[in-house]
């Protein structure tokens, strides 16, 4: 196991669950809204965890952080969600050190998304990093790693066809509407919830349906008004939800609430109603399916919808993986530098001490001692020696660990702290 001086005595872990093994109900139990994220980060800091990044989307909930044991991170997740440790163990994954690094690259690059090439995850990662930094929970390692993942995501998006076609649930929902509903442009569409998925869905609806009968409702009305102003849509008060449902042909729910906001009791109309629930946890009670006129579709079903470009996108996976490996190589090179940086620093201090002692001796011996010139020469020699050792340690043909031990032994350097990564 290689060791790097990144975090004293801890390993880097990625723990979490995703659509691959956890259904929507389980993912809902482990989802984290903004308040829960803040509480989790505060608890992590109180427990002296030095770096932590939390991601919670409709498809996954993950924690990337340093700990002596992964249970520390699992405990944080379970204590701030409705999920239990037993439930987590049935569907979860735990990655350590380089496997954790590799996992973050795949997630951030859209290769692990429910819809291949869904790059909405990268904006979630950026937001999570910003929150961790604000809470003082982002060390140099995590900062550098997340920046590398963001760089990989940008390159894959521009240099491959991974993001062509339907690459998000919001677009897949519009596709589903087209395939299921005739004469979409003349149907009454109600969008309930204007968070990120709601906004994206709204934009896709306006762009692809040519529909002038789209109404927005949000608990916070001014948020809906901002979106409505952009697309010239209608906004109704939350209090009018039941009334609007009676006039609706297609209801899209993306409210982000922690419990259902729609159930059969507020649906009074007898005309056909298609409901798309794009939320985690589910925001539509399954009891609506007891109504003969209602069809309910959840995002897990929408995510299985592919279009004619899916095979083309799959064909670019090897190229995307090559890009990831290139950037991961750069990141690993930085890790190697971090590995011997403390020893080089200690060596430079030792050599500077030697030089200072010799300058003191010569200062006492020589009456015409040139202070400035002597210091300039000694500083240059110290820098050249340390640079020489640094280049040697970077050489792939040399054993870094053996060289470090020899340098520390010869110059009697203090043993720097080590961390397993």
Q: Which residues are marked as active site?
A: 58
Residue with tokens 């910003």: 130
Cis omega (within 30 of 0) on the bond before 281?
Answer: yes
Return the closest-CA partner of residue 194 out of 147, 257, 114: 257
Gyration radius of the chain's alpha carbons: 28
* CA dist list (Å): 384 to 111, 269, 336: 45, 82, 21
**CA-to-CA distance for 251 and 285, rounded, in angstroms?**
13
| Closest of 326, 71, 314, 299 to residue 198, by C-alpha | 299
Residue 88 near residue 30, CB atoms below 8 Å: yes
- CB burial of 165-201 (b: ≥16 within 10 Å; e: otherwise) equals bbbbbbbbbbbbbeeebeebeebbbbbbbbebbbbbb
Measured between alpha carbons, how far is residue 121 from residues 23, 29, 206 in Å?
Answer: 19, 20, 23
Beta 294-298 vs 419-420: how paired, if at all?
A: unpaired
User: Distance of alpha carbon 279 from its chain centroid, rounded?
Assistant: 19
Residue 130 in tokens: 């910003």
* Cβ neighbour number for residue 241 with a 10 Å cutoff: 18
Number of H helices, E strands in the chain: 16, 12
Distance (Å, whole) CA 1 – CA 339: 13
Strand 189-192 and strand 214-217: the pairing is parallel
């Amino acid at each position: 196991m290689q060791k790097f001086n990144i975090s004293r005595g801890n390993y880097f872990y990625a723990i979490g669950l995703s659509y691959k093994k956890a259904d929507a109900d389980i993912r809902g139990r482990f989802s984290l809204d903004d308040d829960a994220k803040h509480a989790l980060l505060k608890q992590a800091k109180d427990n002296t965890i030095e770096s932590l990044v939390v991601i919670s989307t409709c498809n996954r909930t993950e924690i990337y952080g340093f700990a002596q044991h992964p249970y520390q991170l699992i405990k944080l997740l379970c204590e701030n969600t409705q999920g239990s440790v037993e439930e987590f163990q049935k569907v979860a994954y735990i990655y350590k050190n380089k496997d954790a690094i590799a996992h973050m690259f795949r997630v951030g690059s859209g290769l692990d998304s429910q819809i291949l090439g869904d790059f909405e995850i990268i904006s979630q990662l950026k937001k999570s990093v910003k929150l961790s930094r604000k809470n003082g929970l982002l060390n140099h390692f995590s900062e550098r790693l997340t920046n590398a993942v963001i760089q990989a995501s940008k390159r894959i998006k521009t240099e491959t066809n991974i993001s062509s076609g339907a690459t998000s649930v919001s677009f897949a929902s519009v596709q589903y509407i087209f395939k299921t509903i005739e004469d979409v442009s003349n149907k009454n569409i109600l969008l309930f919830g204007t968070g990120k998925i709601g906004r994206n869905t709204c934009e896709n609806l306006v762009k692809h349906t040519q529909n002038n009968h789209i109404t927005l409702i949000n608990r916070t009305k001014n948020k809906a008004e901002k979106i409505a102003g952009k697309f010239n849509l209608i906004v109704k008060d939350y209090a009018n939800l039941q009334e609007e449902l009676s006039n609706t042909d297609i209801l899209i729910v993306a409210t982000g609430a922690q419990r259902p906001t729609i159930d059969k009791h507020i649906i009074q109309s007898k005309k056909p109603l298609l409901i798309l629930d794009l939320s985690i946890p589910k925001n539509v009670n399954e009891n609506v399916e007891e109504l003969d006129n209602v069809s309910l579709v959840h995002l897990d079903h929408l995510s299985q919808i592919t279009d004619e470009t899916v095979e083309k996108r799959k064909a670019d996976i090897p190229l995307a993986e090559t890009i990831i490996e290139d950037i991961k190589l750069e990141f690993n090179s930085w890790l190697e530098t971090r590995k011997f940086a403390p020893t080089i620093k200690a060596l430079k201090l030792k050599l500077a001490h030697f030089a200072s002692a010799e300058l003191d001796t010569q200062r006492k011996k020589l009456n015409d001692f040139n202070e400035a010139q002597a210091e300039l020469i000694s500083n240059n020699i110290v820098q050249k020696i340390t640079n020489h050792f640094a280049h040697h340690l970077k050489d792939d043909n040399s054993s870094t660990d053996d060289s470090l031990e020899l340098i520390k032994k010869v110059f009697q350097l203090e043993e720097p702290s080590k961390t397993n990564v």
